[in-house]
Amino acid sequence: MTAAFAATLFAVPAHAQDSSGLAGFKLGAIAGYDSVKLELDGDSGSKGGFAYGLTAGYDVDLGGAILGIETEISDSTAEESVSDVVVPGDRASLVTGRDLYVGARIGFAASDNVLLFAKGGYTNARVKLKYNDGTSSLTEGDNLDGYRLGGGAEYVSGPIFGRLEYRYSDYGEYSYAGVGTGLKASRHQVVFAGGYRF
């Protein structure tokens, strides 16, 4: 899906539209759908929730292309569980918490007020891992480091902007006390962002 966004992005002629009205500092809120996926030995499960947060960034007009940096802090109601992790009948659950993101994006003007863009960067998610083997239980909070890729479209009208984007985040394998658990975590999100441009 990210590849499709990138293909659309680079298919737009950089010189076809005026991009000067798309740059500047932007501050807004995000809301959308968050699907967390847990994978263990080829088996996986995913469950959706509501994502929400704040975003800020600055875009520079390079004369046909827009290059920007952005940060985000968000949270989610998503939670996912898998069974038979260590022993038959046990259960491990991953509850999402705050997610920090910093990255860059590049885009081209599809019209005077529409920007198509691709993005990528670093994400750090706070999670709570719950494990129960039927006789005892464990709850452990941790931070997961990963990367995010995505893309979308942004509409600008005067000081107002609205943005629809898809993003994929991969946090790799979860380790407990330095030992790999085999659990791999990732997430898919479709979110809307809206706010002000200064």
pLDDT tens, position by position, 19-63 = 558 889 999 999 999 998 878 666 555 678 999 999 999 999 998
Q: For residue range 185-198, what is the model confidence (pLDDT) as tens digits?
A: 889 999 999 999 98
Could you give all domains of the chain from N- to C-terminal order, each with its CATH number? Answer: 2-197 (2.40.160.20)
Whole-angstrom distance, CA of residue 54 vs CA of residue 128: 22
- Which of the 8 DSSP states describes residue 5? H
**Closest C-alpha among 179, 188, 189, 182 to residue 39:** 182
pLDDT band at 147 (very low <50, low <70, confident <90, very high): very high
pLDDT in tens, 53-90: 999 999 999 988 999 999 999 999 887 666 666 667 77
93: which residues sit within 8 A by CB, 6+ positions away?
Answer: 79, 80, 81, 129, 130, 131
Q: pLDDT-derived band of residue 8, with 50, 70 and 90 as boundaries? A: very low
Structure confidence by residue, pLDDT tens digits, 169-182: 999 887 766 666 67
**Which of 181, 92, 176 shows the shortest CA–CA distance to 134?**
92
- Mean pLDDT of the residues in the chain: 83
| pLDDT given at position 5 | 42
pTM: 0.78
Give the pLDDT score at 10. Answer: 43
CA distance 89 to 32: 34
Round to whole Å and give the CA distance between 188 and 20. Answer: 32
Q: Which two tokens stand for residue 53?
A: 């947060």
Which pLDDT score, from 0 to 100, does residue 42 have? 62
What residues have CB less than 8 Å from 178, skipping those under 6 apart? none
Higher pLDDT, 92 or 2: 92
Query: Max alpha carbon distance in the chain (Å)?
Result: 65
- Specify burial of residue 4 (Cβ count, 10 A radius: 0-12, 13-18, 19+): exposed
The CA distance from 75 to 78, in Å, is 9
Q: Which helix (H) or strand (E) holds 71?
A: strand 65-76
Residue 152's pLDDT band (cuts 50, 70, 90): very high
